[in-house]
Amino acid sequence: MISEVLLRVSFLKTILALLVVVIAGCNQKFEDISLSPEFSSMIGTKYVVKKALMIHGVTADIGQENVQYFAITRTPGMGGPEVVSSEPLVVGSVVLVTKVERCSNCLFGSPIHIVVELIADTLSPQVPVRIYQLQSRKDNGDLSLTSEYFEQI
């Protein structure tokens, strides 16, 4: 009986510790990996959007309206309490690649995000625009934006 109680307490402590780690990992931190040889060729490259995408305003401060970054995703996009705005990204929009980042504190892998500037748009240049899961590798191993959605210009 006592060993069963101790086992339950140990299990609850483990769950609580895991929950703390997950919550602490929710505030993503990014390291700039733009100078790495496999990514440096992307910097300064322009692409035109050729297929419908979504752009979302995202915050880590749940319940607040301040956008910490914008995320460009495939349709239908993403949702959750951290998403404060969502709208279609117009086909024909032009993006300029300014940086490549890797998540440095993500629990499940280290996703790579391409940071862009939307040319002729009214978004604040102080708020990063990250492209999520829309990159592919060229034959030479360099990273590029997925040709299904973007065309290099």
Residue 21 is predicted with a pLDDT of 41
What is the predicted pLDDT for the residue at 149? 96
CB 116 within 8 A of CB 131: yes
For 90-117, write each residue's pLDDT tens digit. Answer: 999 999 999 999 988 887 777 889 999 9
Q: What is the DSSP letter of 6?
A: H
CB 99 within 8 A of CB 51: no
Q: What's the one-letter identity of residue 68? A: Q
Q: What is the dihedral of CA 63, 65, 69, 71, to 10 degrees?
A: 80
Point out the residues of the chain with pLDDT beneath 70: 1-26, 122-125
- pLDDT reported for residue 142: 81
- Residue where the block lists tokens 């390291």: 31
